[in-house]
Amino acid sequence: MSEKSAHPPTPPPTDKQRHRRGFLAATARVLVGSPMAIGFSSLVVTHLLWLLGLVRFMFPNILTEPPSRFKVGFPDEYSPGQVETKFKNRFGVWIVRHEYKGQPQIYALRTVCTHLGCTPIWLEAEQKFKCPCHGSGFFKDGVNFEGPAPRPLERYAVEIADDGQLEVDKSRKYQAELGQWKEPESFVPV
Ligand code: FES
Kindly give the distance from the C-alpha atom of residue 87 to the centroid of ligand 1, in angstroms, as a whole number.
21
Q: What is the pLDDT of residue 108?
A: 98
Render each residue's pLDDT in the chain as its tens digit; 190 residues.
Answer: 444 445 566 667 677 777 667 666 665 565 555 666 666 667 777 778 777 777 676 666 555 678 999 999 999 999 999 999 999 999 999 999 999 999 999 999 999 999 999 999 999 999 999 999 999 999 999 999 999 999 999 999 999 999 999 999 999 999 999 999 999 999 999 9
Kindly give the distance from the C-alpha atom of residue 137 to the centroid of ligand 1, in angstroms, as a whole number.
9
Name all residues whose Cβ lies below 6 A of ligand 1. 113, 115-118, 131, 133-136, 147-149
Q: What is the pLDDT of residue 29?
A: 62
Kindly give the distance from the C-alpha atom of residue 132 to the centroid of ligand 1, in angstroms, as a whole number.
7
Closest listed residue to residue 139, CA positions, set 178, 22, 130:
130
b/e 135-151 (16+ beta carbons within 10 angstroms → b): ebbbbbbbbbeebebee
Q: Is 45 left (phi over 0), alpha (psi -120 to 50) or beta?
A: alpha
How many C-beta atoms surround the C-beta of residue 168 within 10 A?
22
pTM of the full predicted structure? 0.68
Q: What is the pLDDT of residue 136?
A: 98
Q: What is the pLDDT of residue 38?
A: 61
Q: What is the rounded CA–CA span in Å between residue 115 and residue 28?
A: 64
Q: Which is the closest atom of ligand 1 to the Cα of 131?
A: 2
Identify the residue whose C-alpha is closest to ligand 1 atom 1: 116
Kindly give the distance from the C-alpha atom of residue 135 to the centroid of ligand 1, in angstroms, as a whole number.
6
Identify the residue whose C-alpha is closest to ligand 1 atom 3: 134
The arrangement of secondary structure in 69-189, i.e. its CATH architecture, is 3-layer Sandwich (2.102)
What three-state secondary structure class fits 36? helix
